[in-house]
Amino acid sequence: MLTLDGNVRLGPFTIFRDVAFDAGVRTLTSTFYALPDAPRLSADADGGPAFRFWWYRRSLDAASGGDAVRAGGLLVVTVDLGPTVEERAQLKHDLAAQFHIDDEQAIALLPMPFVSGTVALEFAGDTGGASTLVNQVGGNGPARLMGNEQAAFAIDLTADGAALLASAIDRQLAVLHVSYDLVFEYHLDGVRLRVWCDARRAQIAASAQASAGALDPATLRSGLVVSQAAGIDISADTPVPRDQQAALQKLGEQLLDAALAATVVAPDGRTARPYDASMSGTLNHTFTSSFAARQQTAVETSLLLAVDDAMRATRITTIDLANQPQPIDVTVLCPVDFVGGPIAAVHVFIAYDGSGPDGRPLDRQADVVFKAGTGSFSFHSLASADDRRYRWHADVQYRDGSKATLPEVLTDDPLLILAIDGLGVLDVDVSLGDVPLDLVGSVVVDLEYPPKGLTHQVILDGAHAAAAWQPVVGQVSPDALRWRATFVTTDGRRIVGDWQAAVSTRVIVDAPRDLGITTDVQLVSAGDFSGLAQIVVDVAWADGRNPAQFAFTKPGQTARWSPRGLPAGGAVNYRARRTVIGADGISRAFDWTDENSPLLVVSDESRFTVQIVSRLLDLGGAWSSAAVALEHVDGGSNLDERDTVVFRDRAADGAWSFRLGASNDHAYRYQLTLVPHGGGERRVFPWQDARDEVLVLRGPAA
C-alpha cells in the first residue's frame, strides 16, 4: 500500500514507500513508487527520441495554378512519466543507501497507482480548432497511460505550423508543452481521519434548507461545521505536512458530503429524510490505515525535439506535393496490459481504398498483432485529397481462449488508440475501506457473477488492501455482481456479512458498525459552551459494566472510551448521561440515553438552537439587508435571553441558541426588519411567537 508518510526526494523524483500491516503491526516493505517532477520525451527502440514528423510541402508550380493540394504536416510524439533504464538503476542504488537495504535487487520500483486523470499537449500555445498552426491534436483528454506510463499524441499541423516546427527542430527550440493532471491512490498510514456529525441537528438543518429550495450536501455540511454540529478531525503519529493536511481536510469534506447525501437528503434531492437513529452510524466514521484515499498531482514540461544529423532522416520525412495523390500516416497504439490483464493479443487490420486523379486505385492494407513487447504501429498510404478516411477492425484474443471482434470503423484520425482493456471483461476492483487493521487480521471477500455462474474469492489484509478480478463475460452487466465479506479478527473471531448487490464494479469493503465499538468509542464536544464550566459525560455498557466519566470544557475536544468485552448477549449497545455544569456552579443532570454509535456527540442539552433560513428574502434585490430580533423569556427560571442576527446574503443561513429553564420550555418570539436598497423607510414586521427549531424568514407577500 502506497503511503505518503516518509517520502523522499531523489533527483527529479519524489519516491513514495510501500507499507504493510500484519496483525496491526506496521512494516515498511522494499517496494517504492516514483513520481517525476515532469514528463519527458520517450525513447524509441533505437534509443533516439520517440517522435516522427512528416512535412508535406506544396511545390511552387502547384501553388501558382491548378488544383489545390493539401499541405501541412503530421507530428506523432510519445511522452513518458516513468524513469529511464539508467534512472531506474540509479534510483535503486540510492534507495538502497538511503534506507539501508543490503540487496538492491530486492527493491521493486513500481509505477504510480494512477486511477484517473487528463493529459494535454499544446503546440506553440495552440491545442487545435480555429488555429493558424494546428488543425487537430489527437490524444488530449482522459489519460490513457500504457503499462510503462507512456502517452502518445498526433498533431495535424497547418502549412504554417509545419514550417514553424521544422524551424524549431533546426534551431532547437521547445514549442511543445505537455501537462498531466492525475489522481493516484494512497493509504492513510499513521493518520486517523474522523468525520462526525450530529445526526439529529443535521436532519433539522436539512429540513430548514429544504424549506427554501433544493438541498446541497456541501452547503449543508458547511453550515453544520460552522455551527459545530459536524466536524473533520485529523490526528497523526507524526506532524502532517501542510499540503497533505489540506488534502486530508478536502477528503474529509468529500466523505462527509457523501454521507449527508446518502443519509439525510431524500432521493429527490429537494427534501430531507425523516430523522432516524440509524443515521448516526452513516454520518460518523473513523478512517485509518486501510482506507484508500486519493490525491491529485500535476506535472508538466516543455519538450525539445532534438536530433543529430545521423538520426534526422529516421525522424523527419519531407514530402513535396505537386498534385494528387497525397500520403496519409496513421499511428496505432494499443495501451493494453498484456502482462497482467485478461487480454493476450489484439490483431488489428487497417486498409485504405481510394483512387488517384487518373482513376487508378490506391489500395493499401496492413495488419499487426499487439502483444507483450509491441508498442506501436505506423500505417502509411497514398490517399485522395478529398477522401483521407481509412478503415480498421480488430480481433481480440483472451487468455482463457475466448475471442471478440471489434467491428469495422471508418475514420481519418491520424492517431488510433485502442483502449480496449475493458472489452468484454468484468473489471472488478475490491479494496478495504473503513476497516481497523488493529482489530481485523484479514477480510475474505466472495464475489459472484450469476449471469455466467462465475465465482471468485480474494483475501485482503494489511499487506494487500486491494485486489482485482477480471473474468471474460462478453456482455458486461455490472449490476449483476454480488459480494460478501467475512472479517477475521485478530482475536480469532469470524464475522460473516450478508450477500449484497454491488453498486458498481468498484467494491469498497467497510467493517461492520459494531466492530470498532467493542474497543473504541469516540466522544467529541460540539455546539455552544458559553456560560458553561463543563459538561460531564458518564458512559457504561448497557448492563452497567465498564463505567467511565469524561469532562469537556469547550467545543472541539475529544476523548476515547475503550471498554473491555461485549455486553451480555453480544449486543453492541451502551448508555450515556450528560451533566451540564454552568459557570455559576449550577448543575443539571439529564436522563440516561441508549447509544449504539462509535461516536458520541457531547453538546449542551440545556440550550435550544434555532436554525434561521433567509433564502426566501429578496436580499440583493429589493432589500439590502435583513435583521431578526429574537427573545426568550422564562420568568420562572429567571431567564431573559435576547439577540439580533443580521443577513446580507440570502444564501447565508444563521443560528441562535438560548438556555432552557427547568421546564424545558423553548418558546421564543422574533421580529423581522428589512432594509431597502438605496435608502428609504425600513419595513418592520410585527413580533411573532414560535417554538420550532427551524425558522424560515419570509418577506412581504407579492
CATH of domain 428-516: 2.60.40
For 228, counting Cβ atoms within 10 Å of its Cβ (0-12 exposed, 13-18 middle, 19+ buried), the class is buried
Nearest Cα to Cα of residue 74 among 309, 388, 340:
388
Dihedrals phi, psi of 251, to nearest 5 degrees: -60, -45
User: Rounded distance, CA 590 to CA 536, Å?
Assistant: 11
- What's the confidence (pLDDT) of residue 128? 55
- What's the confidence (pLDDT) of residue 67? 44
H or E segment and range at residue 109: strand 108-110
State the helix-helix crossing angle for 217-226 and 242-263, rounded to 10 degrees: 110
Question: Do residues 511 and 461 make contact, with C-beta atoms less than 8 angstroms apart?
Answer: no
Q: Under CATH, which architecture does the 607-696 domain have?
A: Sandwich (2.60)
CATH of domain 521-602: 2.60.40.10
Give the residue ranges of DSSP H helices in 72-158.
85-98
Question: Do residues 370 and 346 make contact, with C-beta atoms less than 8 angstroms apart?
Answer: yes
The cell numbers describing 522, all together, are 469516540
Amino acid at 41: L
Domain extents for the chain? 1-185+296-308, 191-287, 428-516, 521-602, 607-696
User: Do 428-516 and 521-602 show the same overall fold?
Assistant: yes
Amino acid at 568: A
CA 643 from chain center: how many Å? 42
Q: What is the dihedral of CA 223, 224, 230, 234, to 10 degrees?
A: 0
Residues 6+ apart with CB under 8 A from 87: 11, 13
What's the pTM?
Answer: 0.66
User: Rounded distance, CA 321 to CA 159, Å?
Assistant: 12
pLDDT along the chain (702 residues), means of 10: 86 90 79 91 85 77 48 84 88 92 89 83 70 76 63 83 90 89 85 84 84 81 81 80 84 90 86 82 76 85 88 85 69 79 90 78 89 80 80 91 90 81 82 82 94 92 85 84 92 89 85 63 82 93 89 88 66 84 87 82 84 86 92 90 91 83 86 89 93 86 58
- What's the confidence (pLDDT) of residue 514? 62
For 584, counting Cβ atoms within 10 Å of its Cβ (0-12 exposed, 13-18 middle, 19+ buried), the class is exposed
- What's the confidence (pLDDT) of residue 663? 73
Q: Is 612 helix (H, G, I), strand (E, B) or coil?
A: strand
Q: b or e along 520-559 (b: 16 or more beta carbons within 10 Å of the residue's beta carbon)?
A: bbbbbbbbbbeebbbbbbebbbbeeeeebebebeebebbb
CA 182 from chain center: how many Å? 10
- What's the confidence (pLDDT) of residue 68? 46
User: Rounded distance, CA 18 to CA 32, Å?
Assistant: 6
List, as one string, the DSSP characters of 619-674: BTTTEEEEEEEEEEEEGGGTEEEEEEEEES-TT--EEEEEE--TT----EEEEEEE
